[in-house]
Amino acid sequence: MTKKRALGKGLSALLENANTDITTKNIGSEGKTVGSISSIAIEQIEANPFNPRTHFEEEQLEELKDSISVHGIIQPLTVRKLGRDKYQLISGERRFRASQLVGLTEVPCYIRIANDQTMLEMALVENIQRVDLNAIEVGLSYQRLIDECNFTQEQLSKKVGKSRSNIANFLRLLKLPAPIQIGIRESLISMGHARAIVSAGEEDVQIDIFRKIIEDELSVREVEALIKSQKAGMEEPKSAPKKETVLAENLVDFQNRLAEKLDTKVQIASNNKGKGKIVINFGSEEKLDQIIDFINQLDD
């Protein structure tokens, strides 16, 4: 027995919300009881203008058409009421198109109440739950929910049942150059490859790595290693540590005697050109005054 794939957390929360389901009355003169499944004429249903999915694979539609021809529509479409005898799809556009190809005149539907904002949200959330979406399509759906539904990443995380890091990973892909985004759409590279490329730096470097992945059939780990080695090669070499000049014996002796007289640490530094400095440390103003008095006494 195959397990029925559950709706995503966000979509189920939207479609199963009692506030979107009319259960207490019939709709207009048609007498269609909403809250149960109603058969609606295909000619009365229009496509969802908020559907982020505009391309449908012909082969997949044909397979769905064959299934509907044999088994009928197993999962009803979800629609909203527009006006007299008019409905608009909320979800199920592939089933709707396949039903048209089969030649059905009516399809089973759930009828919901939804304004434009809710329609867009439902369509985008449903879109994210699809298993056949590529990473760019998912990222674009996330971005639209943020831009057009005014969600924060935290709110979006709760809405679609995904972690914030998962959402952030998909959104980062939208910053990649267009050729790479097309490569992701066309399955030339994987999500893992794409995530590695994001960290590569400049756009020309990203595109160069993208081409290497395709030409050399690099694995994700190989790409990560390549990027790491390139970054290491771009780092400026550290300057060589300065060689310490060995202090002459007479200066060492003077340094020690001065430190003893002042009762503090004294450092003498000298280079091979005869230049250098004397550093006398003090830990308080009182100690500084003592050092100054000692030096003044040398003039007497």
CATH number of residue 36's parent domain = 3.90.1530.10
Q: Are residues 16 and 99 in the same domain?
A: yes
Instruction: Look at residue 160 and tell me if it is in a domain.
Output: no
Residue from 93, 121, 126, 137 carrying the catalytic annotation: 93
Which residues span the domain enclosing 256? 249-289
CA distance linking residue 241 with residue 250, whole number of Å: 26
Q: Could you give the CA distance from residue 123 to residue 146 in angstroms, rounded to a whole number?
A: 14
The region, left, alpha or beta by phi > 0 then psi within -120 to 50, assigned to residue 289 is alpha
Strands 45-46 and 86-91: parallel
Residue 5 scores a pLDDT above 60: no
pTM strictly above 0.85: no
Domain count for the chain: 3
Over the chain, what is the mean pLDDT? 78
Inside any domain, residue 70 = yes
244 located within any domain: no
Binned at pLDDT 50, 70 and 90, residue 105 comes out as very high
Statement: residue 275 has pLDDT above 90: no
Q: Are residues 283 and 208 both part of a single domain?
A: no
Give a yes or no: residue 272 inside a domain: yes
**Four-CA torsion 106, 80, 82, 71, nearest 10 degrees:** -10
Looking at the structure, do residues 261 and 197 belong to the same domain, yes or no? no
Q: Are residues 13 and 110 in the same domain?
A: yes
Domain co-membership, 266 together with 221: no
Confidence (pLDDT) at 107: 94
Domain assignment present for residue 164? The answer is: no
pLDDT value at 150 more than 60: yes
Q: Mean pLDDT, to the nearest integer, of 243-266? A: 77
Mark whether 18 and 96 lie in a shared domain: yes
Q: What is the pLDDT of residues 170-226, one digit of tens each?
A: 999 999 999 999 999 888 999 999 999 998 988 999 999 999 999 999 999 999 999
Active site residue 93: yes
Residue 14 has pLDDT above 80, yes or no: no
As to burial, measured by CB atoms within 10 angstroms (0-12 exposed, 13-18 middle, 19+ buried), residue 224 is middle
Answer yes or no: do 14 and 109 share one domain: yes
Distances (CA, A) of 214 to 181, 187, 190, 219, 223: 14, 11, 11, 10, 11
Residue 20: predicted pLDDT: 44
What is the average per-residue pLDDT within 100-116? Answer: 87
**Which residue has tokens 């971005």?**
143
Using the 3D structure, point to which of 65, 84, 114 is the last residue of a domain. 114
Residue 145 belongs to some domain of the structure: no
